[in-house]
Structure 1
Amino acid sequence: MTNLLKVRNICKSIDNKQILSDVSLNIDKGEIVGLLGPNGAGKTTTFYSIAGITHINSGSIIYNDEEICDLPMYARCQRGLAYLPQESSIFEDLTVSQNLYGTIQLIDQPNSDNEVNNIIEKFQLTNILDKTGRMLSGGERRKTEIARMLLTGPNLVLLDEPFSGVDPIIIEEIKQILLSLKNDGISILITDHNVRDTLNICDRSNILFDGSVFMSGNKSEITANETIKERYLGKSFN
């Protein structure tokens, strides 16, 4: 299978401190991949490097057969690489409907109203369309943010802490949404402190230690690794 994203030997240092050392990973079309590790392992820097928030010192990031290291964040988004931050990105004084239609108005594409209506139905947002952003619960806010992001037509979605601040029922809803995106051929990269739910939803996860990828594998492979249990998951994790 052709890689949609290829990260090759990226390195990053700040004030002579090595943050990333030869980090490499792949994401295929329609694959959900996790980026996990203890605090200070380098996962956030890796994630930000792919999104275009942080610039690397060396290595390559190839998206859809194009080197994107020198591209700013907005140019990566225009090419179909979407980033959803952990912090709220909803316009709080606008309604959910205005947040969605305001996004589609920035994109010159046919059948935009149909696109919004399909998203509203898919995410079950009908009952909250007239709510302003500041009135939304954590789960409603997160679902609206993901829905709005999808209106840009991404091929690869970067989700920063998608399960943070929402209750277990909403986490299950979000996981079902992510699986439907996967079935639509959209690739997803997730970093989250909720390790159990992330491992459960991902086809593969990359575990970072000390600025390098220690292991890439599925949930069974990762949870069977004694070093990962000792350094990250805890020995009773299963």
Structure 2
Amino acid sequence: MSMLEVHDLDAGYGDLQILHDVDLDVGEEEYVVIVGPNGAGKSTAMKSVFGLTTYMGGSVEFQSRDITDSPPEEVIHEGIGYVPQNDNVFPSLTVRENLEMGAYILDEVPEEALETVFDHFPVLRERSDQKAGTMSGGQQQMVAMGRALMLDPDLLLLDEPSAGLAPDLVDEMFDHVDAINENGTAVLVVEQNAKEALRRCDRGYVLVQGRNRYENTGEALLGDDEVRQQFLGG
């Protein structure tokens, strides 16, 4: 049985409907990616899981619990972490303060969680007293991912983790996502770098105009001539 199950989801922003009958699921410790052209509804699908869109129909279940249209402050208690693409750090706070913000729902910051994050991202230990706003884009992304890991989520949602990174840092970011998944956390990733994401994932979804178009293993999608020509640049 899947950890996350989304069925016939209709969602958008205000009166604007973006998603139409979207289905997706994520299994225990699975690595799933959502790809597709710009405007396909990829980020909207992810935000809908976390309660950040206007719900119009369908259902979202996590660990067999109905979280349909639940607000983010409730979703995070269910064991789901979310890293948005933009504005995902507190620039005036230090690295450590940013990470501590990830545990704001707890009575005290779990030191073991901090150590786990520092093990994943050693550079953050070295720069724990540095203001996050003075760090490079790649390092800020590590801070944002680390903050989301502070509650040890069962599922981590990542919206375009490689966006805006220098080419030589993209592989490193994907390596971090791989390591998080290999450590037992299921991940659902929206990614424009479709080829690399599909190479690394267990399964992938291709969304087009807010609807499911393809769903298969990453390897099968990479090998599909139609998918390659239409969405992966040949």
TM-score (norm 2): 0.90
| Matched residue, 2:114 | 116
CA separation of 1:9 and 1:175: change in aligned 2, threshold 3 A = same
Shift of 1:52: 0.8
| Matched residue, 1:161 | 160
Distance (Å, rounded) in 2 between the aligned partners of 1:83 and 1:90:
12
CA separation of 1:16 and 1:230: change in aligned 2, threshold 3 A = farther
Which stretch of the first structure deviates more once superposed, 210-219 or 199-208? 210-219
Which stretch of the first structure deviates more once superposed, 112-121 or 47-56? 112-121
Q: Secondary structure at 1:217's aligned position in 2?
A: strand
| Matched residue, 1:21 | 20
Judge conservation of contact 1:10–1:23 (CA < 8 Å) in 2.
Answer: yes
Shift of 1:173: 2.6
Q: Secondary structure at 1:214's aligned position in 2?
A: strand
Q: How many residues align?
A: 233
Shift of 1:83: 1.1
| Matched residue, 2:182 | 183
Which stretch of the first structure deviates more once superposed, 220-229 or 144-153? 220-229
Unaligned 5+ runs, structure 1: none
| Matched residue, 1:10 | 9
Q: What's the C-alpha RMSD, in Å, of the aligned pairs?
A: 2.1
CA separation of 1:95 and 1:34: change in aligned 2, threshold 3 A = same
Q: Secondary structure at 1:104's aligned position in 2?
A: coil
C-alpha offsets along residues 3-45 of structure 1, whole Å, 9 cap, x if unaligned? Answer: 0000111123678765322211110011110111112222222
Distance (Å, rounded) in 2 between the aligned partners of 1:57 and 1:151:
32
Runs of 4+ aligned structure 1 residues displaced above 6 Å come to: 13-17
Distance (Å, rounded) in 1 between the aligned partners of 2:24 and 2:140:
30
| Matched residue, 2:131 | 132
| Matched residue, 2:219 | 220
Q: Secondary structure at 1:139's aligned position in 2?
A: helix
Unaligned 5+ runs, structure 2: none
Judge conservation of contact 2:93–2:131 (CA < 8 Å) in 1.
Answer: yes
Distance (Å, rounded) in 1 between the aligned partners of 2:87 and 2:6:
27
Opposite residue 189 of structure 2, the aligned amino acid is: I
Distance (Å, rounded) in 1 between the aligned partners of 2:12 and 2:159:
22
TM-score (norm 1): 0.89
